[in-house]
Amino acid sequence: MADIQSTVINIGQNLDPSKIDKATKLLTSAKSITFFGLGGSGPVAMDGQHKFFRFGIPVVAHTDYINQRMIVSMMDDDDILVLISFTGRTTEIIKTAKIAKKNNIKTIALTSKNSPLAKLAAVVLHVDVPLENNLHIPMTSRLAHLAIIDILSATVSSYFGRAYDSKKEEVIKNLEKTRL
C-alpha cells in the first residue's frame, strides 16, 4: 500500500506539465493514435485505446510485437505513436521506436527517464517509481502509467472542450454518445 501511495505522490510532484502540454498538442492534432505495449505494458496500451476512442480520432492498441513492427512501418507523419515500457529497455519496443524515428513518426513514450526508449521519443512522460520486489506483479509502474493515460485523456478532453477548431463539435457529440 505504501508503494502505491508513494507512486501517486510521485506523479503529482514529478510529472512535467510542459511535457503533458506537448503530448496533448500532438494527440489533439493526430490523424490517428496508436498505443503499443508489450508484457505488463499491454493492458496500459489497451486502456489508452479505451480512453481515446471517445474523441472520434481513430485509435488502436497493439500488444503483439510483429503487428507493431508492421503497423509502425505503415504510419505517416500525421499519426501519433504512444510507446509504453516501464524500463524502456525491451529490445522489441526499442526496434519499433527506431523504425518510428526513421520514418519521422511523432512519438510519445511512457517510460523511465534516460532509458533507450526515452532517447528515441519526441515527448517522454516518466515517473520514477521503485522497481517492485515481485516481478510477476508490476503494480506500481502499471498504476503510474495508467495515471498518465488518465491525465492525457483529461487534458485532451479539456482541449477539445475549449478549442475553436473543426474537431470540437464532433468530439463533444462523440463524448455524449458514449455516456451510457
Integer CA distances (angstroms), 67 to 11, 53, 130, in order: 31, 20, 31
How much is the pTM? Answer: 0.87
Integer CA distances (angstroms), 163 to 28, 33, 151, 176, in order: 10, 19, 18, 17
Give me the numbers of helices (H) and strands (E) for the chain, helices first please: 8, 5
pLDDT at 168: 63
- Per-residue pLDDT at 2 exceeds 60: yes
CA distance 125 to 145: 9
The model's confidence at residue 3, banded by pLDDT at 50, 70 and 90, is low
- Per-residue pLDDT at 172 exceeds 90: no
pLDDT tens digits, one per residue of 28-78: 999 999 999 999 899 999 999 999 998 888 999 999 999 999 999 999 999
The model's confidence at residue 4, banded by pLDDT at 50, 70 and 90, is low
pLDDT at 136: 47
Side-by-side strand order, sheet with 123-125: 59-62, 32-37, 79-85, 106-111, 123-125
pLDDT at 101: 97
pLDDT tens digits, one per residue of 84-141: 998 999 999 999 999 999 999 999 999 998 999 999 999 999 877 666 555 544 677 8
pLDDT at 131: 60
- Per-residue pLDDT at 79 exceeds 80: yes
